[in-house]
A = this chain, B = another copy of it.
């Protein structure tokens, strides 16, 4: 299994997720065409599909076919897309650009963007509950919905975004910053992995724990790298204005620790992730490559 293979899987995941979501949106009736277009725009403009990829490769590590994991991957991407649309709103982070393109409220308007985010969240739960996939039992669907809801609501992503907003213009502790990211981005990344374990009958509890440790560590690594890139990369590479954290006066790992110590922290999280994989009785090659991808990404 070479590096190129993960890149191939990533490209194919992007294609299939985009096709799945396009098909889902296009089948919706036409009664509110602007909203439908805004949902499609929010879902399909750019995006590396890192969450679907992480869910897919965890599922494949556990012997679950991509056909079975596709609806779950698509649902998680809907949650992610809705959160970006709402985070970009003027009352939140007030961003005009996302993935190098106009944000949803710039392309459409604020009201449509709010509704598109709302409807994409709903769609996530609908996709899982309503999928005809024979491999997902009702019990598994209920567990998946519980997992994704907890990861994306107050106890996860929304709670993290609230901490983030409250922390703007304040110097917060490293502990609080870590909690912020564990909730804001870590919870949904962890759900990408946890959902795959929930789809695996008779998986050992200690294996689940190691999968979760892996996910939590790469979740934090992802965020430290995000903060570092915001300081070091150009706007062109990022597809959004670089230095935006500093401009928004946000606490970041480089701001709290210094750039060098932030880089060391990133290495530590990366090492923790790999150690968790070492304890698993599965071929974790792809997950290892995914962790490397987190560490080495440039945007």
Chain A residues packing against B (C-beta within 8 Å): 28-29, 31-32, 34-36, 39, 82, 86, 89, 91-92, 109-112, 114-115, 117-119, 121-123, 125-126, 129-130, 137-139, 141-143, 145-146, 149-150, 152-155, 158-163, 165-166, 179, 183
Contact = CB atoms under 8 A, between A and B. Distances in A.
A106 B166 CA distance: 17
A130 B146 contact: yes
A34 B159 CA distance: 10
Given A129-B149, A130-B149, A138-B137, A35 B119 contact: no
Contact of A126 (B31, B146, B159, B179): B146
Q: Is the interface of A mostly helix, strand, loop or mixed?
A: helix
B158 A119 contact: yes
7 contacts: A32-B166, A36-B154, A119-B158, A123-B149, A123-B153, A141-B142, A142-B142
Q: How many copies does the complex hold?
A: 2
Contacts of A114: 86, 89, 91-92, 114
Contacts of A110: 91
Given A31-B159, A118-B86, A130-B146, A111 B92 contact: yes
Given A142-B129, A142-B138, A162 B112 contact: yes
Given A118-B117, A138-B139, A141-B142, A150 B126 contact: yes
